[in-house]
Structures are given as structure tokens and as C-alpha cells.
A and B are shown apart, each in its own frame.
Chain A
């Protein structure tokens, strides 16, 4: 097997709050191959974004990575000095965010926001032309003029394109996309997804695609990792996981989305609430909401293991 592009092993990122230690990410394992699109799904607050920021090395206090390894092309990012991490950030590893309205600096011209990224990683030579090319690449009309404008002069979809242009300006080999389409309306969403998919082919990037929209995952990703309460509970090929989910949480998730093909299908929400991250029960975090749970689940914490070929599941009840 080729060397994975990114390998996250047993990542634990905790927040030391007044209410206690919030274990936002508590033992995440992920592997992304070069050029692969990995979907990371889960409910709000399950630790998807914190996982992303941990990989970027952007966890701010009171957050802290307390354990684990993040191997990027075989090199442990957690061992790097801040200076070395800055070279990777925006260069080899880029990130785009959820809300294009708040992610661009409102008081700095679009052109300056793109060129400053290019200047750091590729030098100042031709940075203006490169930035214009990037804007063209992401499909922004009259890019030269847009370079001189401020973010508030652009529409939401346009701003998302600018953000993508900035992230991709240095041809990263890994792109982390944190819900890049959630804040956009549906037609723009489709355009942006097409754009990312096209650029992914062109630049042969690995993508960690964070979303809570399973439809987007089905359409766009090669593999999927399902997260619950700070842990990855199931990993596998997208089609397999979505058609034959094994983990009770993945099954619950899939039952809770409406389907067009089966008009009489009732939506079944997962009973109960996500547990508070600073008061996780011993044993399996999903025990309170799980239809399969028995006494064992309150005692032992399950870990990811191969339950079928190319399928990892973290559940004691799956044979």
C-alpha cells in the first residue's frame, strides 16, 4: 500500500473549561490516501471541526492536543515547531471554512488577501498574476476588477470561491473543507461542489470533507468516517457504509434523513441527546441512545476494528 497522505492516530483534543475537561476529540483515527476524498460526518458538536483545526495546528487555548499523532506524508505534525508548521499551513495543507461571509477579512482587499498567501509560500514574484489566475480558475468573472474589491462587494457564492482560490493558490496536497457549502443556498452549493470536485481532479489533492449532509457525501466522497461524541465510530467505502451501515449510530443517522424514493417512509430520529462532552459516561458514549446496548457497553469502551473487509467499526455489539 502507498504511504497514506494523512494518518491521524488516537488524536485527543481536550478543552479545559470551568465546567470540566470537554473531550471534544477523544481518540480519533483517520487515514486519507493521496488524491482521496474522505467525508467526515456527524452531528454538530461531535468534534469534526476540532479534528480539522487540530490537523492544521490551530487549536487555541483553552483547547489542547493531549495525545496522539498526526502523520502528514509520514511526518508527525505535532512534533513540528510553529515556524515549520506555518510553512505547511496554507502551502501543503490548506483549509476552507463554513461561512464565507465571516472568513474573509472585511477591511482588506480581495487581491491582498490572496497574494499574501502566495507571497509566503511561493515568493512575491508574479504573485498578482498568479492570484488573478486563481480567481479565473474558480470561475470569478472579471477577476482583475474583483482583486481591487472588498469582500462586502461580493456575493456569498463569490466569496466562497475567493476563499477556495486562496486555499488552493499554493496547490496543497491536502485540503480540509469544513462544511464549505452549509452556508450557501442549494444552487450555489451544487456549483461550489462541482468546482471543488473539478479542482480536486486537476490538482490531485486529498480532501478531508467535513459535513453533516449525507447527500453531499454520497455524491462527492470516496470514503466516509462517521464521528460521534469525539470518536470515529465507523469508516469505510461510501457506498458500502451508506447502503449497509453497521454501527447503530450510522444506522440511526441514515434512518433520520428523508428519502424521495420511498414516499411513505417515516423519519425516525435518534432518541435522546448527544451527551455533554465533559460528562461522558464510562464505556461506550452512544450507550444511552443505542437500541442494541447492554451491560457490556456501560463497562468497556469499544475501539475501531475491522468488522468486514475495508470496514472499521467501533461497537461491542457488532460481531
Chain B
């Protein structure tokens, strides 16, 4: 438990540091939210602008604004969006499930491909299967995700017309009642198969585009750590007991080989969230990433700060979770 507590404490400066960096960057960028807001209104006097700035608290010194932001967070108040005039929390709550669904699907797809592929490659080292999956994973690591996204749309929606190239659900399908916000889950809960399959077909391409680089990386790590593990004495000993090869590989080898893989997966959860911004844009996915990009463009400071804080917390949380999973997988790491 002490291990867990120490790790929790360590996350505090990390999160604080991230908020400070984001806050400074946003405010140091040339441009002004009020001017952006009023850009289309036409002629407005400097007095009016100053008044609005005062109302939004933007005339305060930066350190006061930062402290105000931190204080708000502590009270559970993430501020109001400058552009929409609604609480940041509400905006995020609205958009988060879409992003979460996409990220989880990408993660699931990539693990389902990568771990078996990595294990098979290691067990049949230098075979045709190994060389083919090595080649595919090299391509996967090297391809930029936006390019892959566009190509997938080009092939599967524009060319073949098999899958939709954007949005979470087509316009012709009624949304299931919102319970979790995750469309797949909601449609299942409502027993609405039509919506389920539609949501699935919309999810597939963006999840694939987002998950491909992670799949490639995870496959490489799984392969190399499996190769290392299957040469260990305890694998030979397991075989010498008369265990079937399948049991040796899955129970004795994979369990040990997954330990480094878990770290990579956790660290990449952050990359997935970041990658979301581009993929969401390409697939018109109404998630957090799109919201952040739009908010950066319009200097909507509170939204950007809130979203980045959430990213930071997720990232830190995933690392913490990885450490905890570690202790489950490897008894030598003490809690």
C-alpha cells in the first residue's frame, strides 16, 4: 500500500507542472480571445473590448489567473468556455465518451492483433509468418496515422463503399438512449441491434487508423520479450515436466513476456489520446480532440486547459494503473 501511496504523491508535481506549461503556452501565444470572439461583429470600441476582458478576468495579472484556475479546479469548477458560455466540465462530459469509445476500440483492436502476432512470430522465429508480421509492423510504425486514416477512407468508404468514412452514427439511425455515452454499450443496453451494427461500422475505420501504430509497436515488444523469455531455463523445465507446448507458451512464457508489454501499452495510451485529435478531425468524430483543436484556434483558454488537465490526469492514471498491473503480473515487484 505504501508503494501505491508514494506513486500517488509523485503524480501531484507532474500534474501541476503540466497545467503550468499549458497555461503559459496558451497565454504567451499571440492573439486574443475577445478579438476572435468579436471578429465578425464589426466595429467595436476599445472600451467595450476592455469591459469584456474585465468580465472574463482576462485583465488580471497572469499569476492571478493561474492561481484562480488552480483554485477553481480544486473546488471542482473548471471554468466557463469563452466561446460557448457553458461550463467547461459540461462540454468535456459531452465529448469525452466519443473519444473514450474510439480510444478503447483502437486499443482493443491493436492488442487483439499485436499480442497473438508477437507470440507467433517469436515462437516461429525467422519463419514466413515472422517475416511477414515484422514487415507489416515496420510499415505500421512508419506510417503517419493521418495518412493511414485518409487511405482507409479512400479504400473502404470511397472506393469499395463498405464502411462509412465519418461520424459516430449515420443520420438515418436513431440514437439509443444515453446511459454510458459509449454508443456500442448504449445500443446493446437498449437491445438496439441496428444502432449497434451502425455504431460498429462507423467505429471500425477510425479505430483501425488510430490503433495501427500501437499494434505495430506492441507486436514488436511482445515478440522481443517472448524471444527472451522462451530461452529461459524455466521454459525448458516446463517442457521437461511434460506440459503441452501451448501451455508452456501461454501460461509460462506469455505471462512473463507481458510485463514489459504492459508498460508500452500504458505509455501509449497518452499517445493514443493525442493521436485522437488528428483522427477525430479526419473522421469527423465528435470527440474531445476536435473540441480541443477548435478551442486552441479560438483562444478558448478554459476549455484547452481543462482538456489538457484531463489528458494529463489520464496519462498519469494509466501509468499508475500499469504499476498496479505490474504487481499483479510479477510478484517480485512489491506493493
Residues of A that sit less than 8 Å from B by CB: 53, 56, 58, 82, 86-91, 94-95, 97-99, 102-108, 116-117, 120-121, 150, 152, 163, 166-167
Distance (whole angstroms) from the CB of B121 to the closest CB of chain A: 15
Enumerate chain A residues within 8 angstroms of B237, measured Cβ to Cβ. Answer: 95, 97, 103-104, 163, 166
Report Cα–Cα, A169/B240, bound state, in Å.
13
Q: Are B256 and A107 in contact (CB under 8 A)?
A: yes
- What number of B residues sit within 8 Å (CB to CB) of A? 22
Q: Are A105 and B242 in contact (CB under 8 A)?
A: no
Q: Which of A86, A98, A102, A152 contacts B242 (CB 8 A)?
A: A86
A107-B255, A150-B331 are contacts. A102–B241 as well, Cβ < 8 Å?
A: no
In the complex, per-residue mask of B245-256: 1 if CB is within 8 Å of any chain A CB, else 0: 101000110011
Distance (whole angstroms) from the CB of A140 to the closest CB of chain B: 18
Enumerate chain B residues within 8 angstroms of A107, measured Cβ to Cβ. Answer: 255-256, 329-331
In the complex, per-residue mask of B195-218: 1 if CB is within 8 Å of any chain A CB, else 0: 000000000000000000000000
Enumerate chain A residues within 8 angstroms of B330, measured Cβ to Cβ. Answer: 106-107
In the complex, per-residue mask of B229-267: 1 if CB is within 8 Å of any chain A CB, else 0: 000111011111111110100011001100000000000
Enumerate chain A residues within 8 angstroms of B247, measured Cβ to Cβ. Answer: 116
Q: Which of B241, B245, B331 contacts A166 (CB 8 A)?
A: B241
Report Cα–Cα, A105/B252, bound state, in Å.
7
Closest Cβ neighbor of B331 among chain A residues = A150
Enumerate chain B residues within 8 angstroms of A116, measured Cβ to Cβ. Answer: 241, 243, 247
In the complex, per-residue mask of B300-335: 1 if CB is within 8 Å of any chain A CB, else 0: 000000000000000000000000000001111000
Enumerate chain A residues within 8 angstroms of B232, measured Cβ to Cβ. Answer: 102
Q: Are A120 and B241 in contact (CB under 8 A)?
A: yes
Report Cα–Cα, A82/B243, bound state, in Å.
11
Q: Are A103 and B242 in contact (CB under 8 A)?
A: no
Enumerate chain A residues within 8 angstroms of B245, measured Cβ to Cβ. Answer: 82
Q: Which of B234, B241, B329 contacts A89 (CB 8 A)?
A: B241
Distance (whole angstroms) from the CB of B5 to the closest CB of chain A: 23
Interface residues of B in 125-146 (CB under 8 A from A): none
Enumerate chain A residues within 8 angstroms of B252, measured Cβ to Cβ. Answer: 105, 108
Residues of B that sit less than 8 Å from A by CB: 232-234, 236-245, 247, 251-252, 255-256, 329-332
Enumerate chain B residues within 8 angstroms of A104, measured Cβ to Cβ. Answer: 234, 237
Closest Cβ neighbor of A118 among chain B residues = B241
Closest Cβ neighbor of B329 among chain A residues = A107
Report Cα–Cα, A58/B248, bound state, in Å.
13
Q: Are B234 and A121 in contact (CB under 8 A)?
A: no
Enumerate chain B residues within 8 angstroms of A53, measured Cβ to Cβ. Answer: 236
Enumerate chain B residues within 8 angstroms of A103, measured Cβ to Cβ. Answer: 233-234, 236-237
Closest Cβ neighbor of B252 among chain A residues = A105
Distance (whole angstroms) from the CB of B246 to the closest CB of chain A: 11
Enumerate chain A residues within 8 angstroms of B331, measured Cβ to Cβ. Answer: 106-107, 150, 152
Enumerate chain B residues within 8 angstroms of A94, measured Cβ to Cβ. Answer: 240
Enumerate chain B residues within 8 angstroms of A89, measured Cβ to Cβ. Answer: 239-242
Enumerate chain A residues within 8 angstroms of B242, measured Cβ to Cβ. Answer: 86-91, 117, 120-121
Taking A91-B242, A95-B237 as given, write out 4 further A-B residue pairs in contact, using a Cβ cutoff of 8 Å, ordered by the A residue number: A102-B233, A105-B256, A107-B329, A121-B242
Distance (whole angstroms) from the CB of A163 to the closest CB of chain B: 7
16 A-B contact pairs sorted by A residue (CB < 8 Å): A53-B236, A56-B239, A82-B245, A86-B242, A86-B244, A90-B240, A90-B241, A95-B240, A97-B237, A98-B233, A102-B232, A105-B256, A106-B234, A107-B329, A117-B241, A150-B332
